Amino acid sequence: MKKQNVKAVKIFIYGILIVFLACLCYFDGERVQTLKLKIKLKWGAPEQKEYVLNQFMDRHPRVLIPTVIEAILDDTSLPMHGDTGWGKVYHQAATAISNYARLIDGKTQFERGRDEYSFGRDVGRASLERRKEVYNNWKKWWKINKNYKIHNRRRLH
């Protein structure tokens, strides 16, 4: 009876070790950085959310797109930098996704539909229903376009 218990404990420990090693292989440096950015955008301070959105606009990491689209529902105010102070996470996220979408399909915000995909006319006070509308439009867009790649000729820079 004791030998069976010892065997069971060994198998359990080997299983935990295998899972741990698999996690080490899966979570390389880049995945850990991406996970940190996702966490900052979802639950971070306003400065962290602004940082992640700026990083997304600069580097265009595809893996952040669903998280940035979810940020369209976030009503957090962004830090003021001498501007009017009505910047919100949802507005910045919609702008970031719009810039990314332009790299893929070449459509400007006006060609895509400014009212359907942005908050330009909401003057910083979009209701939850309005944010959900824009969020759903971007979700549909991503579902259709998630397999497309950014082409060098469409770069904004």
- Whether 144 is covered by a domain: the verdict is yes
Residue 10 domain-assigned (yes or no): no
- Domain membership flag for residue 23: no
Q: What gap in Å lies between CA 123 and CA 104, rounded to an integer?
A: 27
pLDDT in tens, 19-48: 877 766 666 667 778 888 898 999 999 999
Would you say residue 136 has pLDDT above 70? yes
Q: How confident is the model at residue 12, as a pLDDT?
A: 85
Our count of domains for the chain comes to: 1
13 is a domain residue = no
- Which of 10, 145, 126, 143 lies closest to 74 in space, CA to CA? 126
pLDDT tens digits along 58-89: 888 888 999 999 999 998 888 877 665 558 89
**Distance linking the first and last C-alpha atoms of the chain:** 70
- Asked if 76 and 128 count as a contact pair (C-beta separation under 8 A), the reply is no
pTM (predicted TM-score):
0.74
Percent of the chain whose predicted confidence (pLDDT) is above 90: 30
Q: Is residue 4 part of a domain?
A: no
Confidence of residue 153 (pLDDT cuts 50, 70, 90): very low
Q: Is residue 44 part of a domain?
A: yes
Per-residue pLDDT for 120 more than 80?
Answer: no
pLDDT score of 155 more than 50: no
Q: Which residue has the tokens 């996690």?
A: 23
Q: What rounded mean pLDDT belongs to the chain?
A: 82
Residue at 25 is within a domain: no
Q: Is residue 16 part of a domain?
A: no
Which residue range(s) make up the domain with 41?
31-154
More confident site: 1 or 147: 147
